[in-house]
Chains A and B, each alone.
Chain A
């Protein structure tokens, strides 16, 4: 059976339609790129509840906060990179003010492709994770993005949701239930574990197939909530398998890999460990598949790395 492919942001667009229909109090803000982030879908439900701040990301954050402080449920989105333009207003007004604005960053990671490093946001998980009061979700496919969006409607804390531009395999069925803060073990295994997020989850599943041919049993965990991190699932993997590899389309510093490493170190868990991601460097323009090949993000790379840990 051929795998269905869909961009993660398409799922956000469906989530937007669902929550806009469900709750007349939810509003959507974009700087300019609503057609790309997919929150333009809100206009199909009610054109009066979608706003452009203009290409003024800092003001967009302030406007989102003002709307939220006066009782609106607010989703503000742009490319992940451009949210970081407003880092300090996010810190001051959303996080320190503790105002439950939902931020949605699309076009994340090297997977953005041809636009190159100026658009390939590979530091957002790290930045958002560092902020007190901020929560962080990375959707692995369009279904998860849709379900996470529905979850966030009534979530009364600040949260960042990372989506993505290009098509990836759809892993989840329509009846998937998103559980905030609880990792999904997509495949059980007892030799090694890959803990992945976002576009790397489907690649980790491919790696499991490759390793199976070599009689290596791989556990694959979709760590969709980076903050708060599901520590228990990490601890279990460290005790029940011999190695842990993290995989993220992001810098290895400060993101999923760092979050997992913190758990392993603080709990004195002795397990072979490595991180896949960008290592203190920028990628370049190119087709996503070619960039993933060049920068070591393919199933083959992951499988080889796992073998070095065993």
Chain B
């Protein structure tokens, strides 16, 4: 089944439910990465409920669009979206995420339905996406490759090797989405190793770049539209808020890699209307 909706209310409601799932599965597991999953929620929702050419009944279709979660620790966000696309039951996801014998590894693994590639060690998605985009060019296939990167991940040298390669090869079927939530594990990106001016850096590698509000569906779709008509690889710097949707989680790096306890979860779900 394919899914394409532009209804803003429907998308907002999906995003709300996805955040609830993210919090439930991480709290149940007692660990995981809710903050960066919640900053990416609208981006993932827009991809999987509108933009990606993906048939949930034919996940191996060789002409499908590819999505790579290079920031593979944000598995809760992607799993939640995929379960909403009907790939697996929500209950199983909540109850078995990060558990032994589960289909849902802490970081994404390609043995899970709908997961294109295993990630969790930062820096690798853009290179793999470049390979996929190059492959599409070789075979004259029209599929696109989307790679979601963390902003802290921009500190990995391998990312810049890949910006250089894709720009040089003019891979205009490759789209990088940078979840610019400004936090990383130990604190703020700006205090750890600042990556700005990010747009100028990426442009200088022969990419087209747009900066948007990563929680605004209209801006997200406009960016994807521009990306599909680009003469160069296309980067979307999506300004987001880590922990978006729950007041006490927003912009606080501690929720990068920590789950809410029972009390906190109750409070958060109340805010989200869960």
Does residue A71 face the partner (Cβ distance < 8 Å to B)? yes
- Is the CB–CB distance between B131 and A66 below 8 Å? yes
Q: A48-B138, A53-B165, A89-B124 are in contact. Are A62 and B130 (CB under 8 A)?
A: yes
Q: Give per-residue flags for B118-150: 1 if the beta carbon is below 8 A from chain A beta carbons, else 0.
A: 111101111111111111101100000100000
Query: Which of chain B's residues have a CB closer than 8 A to the CB of A93?
Result: 117-118, 124, 128
Does residue A61 face the partner (Cβ distance < 8 Å to B)? yes
Interface of B is mostly: helix
CB of A99 to closest CB in B, whole Å: 8
A269 to B141 CA separation, bound complex (whole angstroms): 57
Query: Which of chain B's residues have a CB closer than 8 A to the CB of A115?
Result: none
Q: A62-B131, A63-B134, A67-B135 are in contact. Are A56 and B161 (CB under 8 A)?
A: yes
- Is the CB–CB distance between A66 and B164 below 8 Å? no
Query: Which of chain A's residues have a CB closer than 8 A to the CB of B139?
Result: 70-71
- Is the CB–CB distance between A62 and B157 below 8 Å? no
Does residue B110 face the partner (Cβ distance < 8 Å to A)? yes
A56 to B127 CA separation, bound complex (whole angstroms): 10
Does residue B240 face the partner (Cβ distance < 8 Å to A)? no
Query: Which of chain A's residues have a CB closer than 8 A to the CB of B134?
Result: 51, 63, 66-67
Number of interchain pairs (Cβ within 8 Å): 101
**Contacts of B27-86 to chain A: CB distance below 8 A:** 62, 66
Interface size class of A (residues with CB under 8 A): 20 to 34
Contacting B118 at CB < 8 Å: which of A48, A56, A60, A97? A97
Query: Which of chain A's residues have a CB closer than 8 A to the CB of B123?
Result: 58
B interface size (C-beta, 8 A): 34
Query: Which of chain A's residues have a CB closer than 8 A to the CB of B90?
Result: none
CB of A77 to closest CB in B, whole Å: 15
Q: Give per-residue flags for A41-85: 1 if the beta carbon is below 8 A from chain B beta carbons, else 0.
A: 000000011010110101111111111111110000000000000
Contacting A69 at CB < 8 Å: which of B117, B157, B161? B117
Q: Which of B116, B124, B125, B129 has the most CB of A within 10 A?
A: B124
Does residue A155 face the partner (Cβ distance < 8 Å to B)? no
Does residue B158 face the partner (Cβ distance < 8 Å to A)? yes
Contacting B128 at CB < 8 Å: which of A49, A56, A66, A88? A66
CB of B195 to closest CB in A, whole Å: 18
- A: residues with CB less than 8 A from B are 27, 48-49, 51, 53-54, 56, 58-72, 88-89, 92-93, 96-97
